[in-house]
Chains A and B, each alone.
Chain A
Amino acid sequence: MVPSHLPIDQASLRYLPPSSANFRPHTDEDGLSVYRRAGLESIGLGAEDVARAGKGPAVVAGLQDVHLLAQGLEIADDPMPVPPDVSPAHALITGWHSMTDGESRRVARALAKLATCVYPDSDWHIAASLVKARAEQA
């Protein structure tokens, strides 16, 4: 996600963990689109390659399978044709369709709190500041 998807503390002006809005699936899709670390590593790639696959400099959030399962969600491999490099590792977090909007918001908030910044490997504020600075230099 790009740094503008992260809220800031409006007093300290520090970036905070991603908005829960980033963890809600599109209603017309089968689940929340992600890339699996094991799938990336099997083709010699990592979170940095996911960050580069987007439209601009981005930070990458990481979640563990156990966090998804604890929220009643599942994850299924879903290789995609694009982008060509990281697409074999694409997967979908499913299990949202039976949820009400309220349940979906609660689960998305839980995932947002559990997510760690895996690229750049730092806390959210430092990572987002670094990525923003890179984008401004580009």
Chain B
Amino acid sequence: MSALWHPAIRADWLVLQRTGAVAFVRIIGVPALLLAGCVALACGDFYGGYGWCLAASTLLALGGSYAIAHARLLEALERWRFGWCGALPVARGATAATLLLVTAVALLVLLALVTALLLAVSVSAPHRADLAYALAGIDFALVVGAATAAVRALHAGARARHADGIREPLFALPWLNDPRLPHLFDWQRRAALVRWRRGGSFVMVGVVLAAVPDGPSIPMVVALVLLVLSWSWLAMAMRASADAAAAATCLLGATPLAVDCARMASFRYPAIAASCAVVPMIAGAMLTGHGAIALAWAACAVAVSAWPFLRILRATRRPGRPA
């Protein structure tokens, strides 16, 4: 292995090969969903000529690529700096070079895929002229999102481990905690918060606003921001909750934990998070002026984001066994 590259990359590659298809699906699952969301949104302009869908897909690509790249780069940086290979004599700049190379390769694959998908879905579209805008917008957004994430992650990487501080909630609502399994709610909430911060948190609002092209009215911009942010929060909170619930049932495996008790306690936080996310999503949908279509889109977004509920069901079916 060349001294130019971080030695952990070879170990990671071996682990990936040995874990098999599940590991690959985990890696490509979220980016694939992002691309599908962007292309599906762009279809609204190709086939419906609504005019705002391309802007929304550009925003989604920007926010999504930023959040995914930022979270994954921070995770890799933390693992490489504080994990088993943290004490290895790694050449200066090798960590950054390796991560930038991996990001660039992933980005090239994503660009190729999104371009192919956009070309495929627009072949017989009545508004095919929008293809050039879609290609330029989404591709550009993916590159800018990933590049910003790489710069920020590499800058913050050294103190990443100490940036996970937990603050108490602004409004302490102790009744939200399930007394049969106290603090599982806190565990899920903190896991979601840590993940949200890693994905960029409220910096996203500024990034999204800065990327809105000229033309759309203020209510439209607000609507897009509400839709994109509430969806990304919901998807992230669901995944974090499922991971925490699976870890908790594994941790409590040797205790006489009742299945229904584990299930009720595990569903409480994601259910409340979903209820909270649906409110701005509906508000955003109404502000677009295409209420019915936007609401249908929001309903699909919620349905897609809710898949971690299945993971919670599976994890709590037999407490103590890995999900």
- Are A and B interaction partners? no
Which of A's residues lie within 8 Å of B, judged by CB?
Answer: none
Which of B's residues lie within 8 Å of A, judged by CB?
Answer: none
